[in-house]
Amino acid sequence: MVVLEGMAPSDAGAVDELARSILGHASAVELDALVGVPAKSMHIALAPAGVAFRQGKQMSAYAWSEIHEVRVRRGTVLLKTEAARERIVRKKDATTIQPYTEKRTRGIRVIVDGVAESGIAAPLSRVLEDMRARRFSFQGTSWITYVNSLDALHTDFDANDDPIIPMTAASLWLAVGLIAALVIPVGVNAATLRAVPAGAFALWDPLGTLDPRGLIAGFAFSAMVAGFALRLALGRAAVIWGHGAARGWARPDSGPLKRFATRQLARIVMAPASAATIVLLALLAFWPNVAATVLVSPSGVRNTVLVPFVSVEEPWRAAVEITRQANGTAIRFADGRVLTTVGHELGGGTQQQFFDLTSAWRKAATR
């Protein structure tokens, strides 16, 4: 079937209409959730007509007959759908609309006050199963169990809202963070040290004690350690406290500033995956310091990088000028490159030895 350019599939309007009818249903069950991989925050509505997903202005919906399976895995509700859809296929000579069967499996994690809660997965799956089987009722067991599981989150948190926990978590996070922020630059600097060949010099860039990358990596690492220590010491009570505090459920008599600090602390120490990602990115940011070294030898200047086949070599005959500066030596090459020892770590000799030998090597190469 040939269609005009820009024409939409005929099922798009039907899907949008189904989504609007579900979202606008007077007794729809509505919830926020993280959906898919990577997780996207969506608003979900359940109604007698089906289930609808909304993210901003984008909507999708499925009738219950298109829901083929509902199951729970690792605190996530997996929703398997098979629906008849149409798509536009553009070819060289024409644009056509072709039918196909959309098969998708969505992972749903319920969000409660901004924090995903795995304990709601099983009750939610029973609600979905009852709606799919057309036996759902607000007086039924599945709905009452779901509501009770939501209420239990507050009850469990109130039972574990001990002021000692945030004090311990904050102390551990700060202590380990400060130690790690000091140790990580030392370790990276040790990794950059390489044996300098005899009769040559090496230039590299050591990290400072207060390097921002070291601070970020250190405190992200300490968040992982603090979260692990709390789970090891308190078990599930640590998870209950962390989720509740991250939702802002701390004691109202603690004051707004303390509640804000406790909420941010819980978000930091109870998110090991995010902390591990930050640590990895911070360590990758050290790569320019670890990888790059400049070797200065009688054969010339070689910028080496710990990547195969990547290096820049400058022979001495390309050196235009070598000048002695207040704190080092500068070498200017014909292509405009300038090598200076100022601000870099020098290995293999002193600044004066570097100037004397490089001048002699250049003079010997230009004879």
CATH fold of 292-365: PH-domain like (2.30.29)
Write down the domain spans for the chain.
2-157, 164-195+206-287, 292-365
Establish how many alpha carbons lie within 13 A of residue 322's alpha carbon, considering only the half-sphere containing its beta carbon.
20
In tens digits, what is the pLDDT along the chain, a chain of 367 residues?
344 445 555 556 778 888 889 988 899 999 999 998 888 899 999 999 999 999 988 888 999 999 999 999 988 999 999 988 877 778 777 777 788 888 889 999 999 998 899 889 999 999 999 999 999 999 999 999 999 999 999 999 988 888 888 899 999 999 999 999 888 888 877 766 666 777 888 887 777 777 888 899 999 999 999 999 999 988 888 889 999 999 988 876 667 888 888 889 999 988 888 899 998 998 888 777 666 678 888 888 887 665 544 567 788 888 888 888 888 888 888 888 888 888 788 888 888 888 889 889 988 887 7
CATH fold of 2-157: PH-domain like (2.30.29)
Q: What is the dihedral of CA 33, 104, 273, 248, to 10 degrees?
A: 0
> How is the beta sheet containing 345-347 ordered, strand by strand?
311-314, 300-304, 293-297, 201-204, 345-347
Name the residue among 301, 304, 282 with its Cα closest to residue 291: 304
* Distance (Å, whole) CA 250 – CA 248: 6
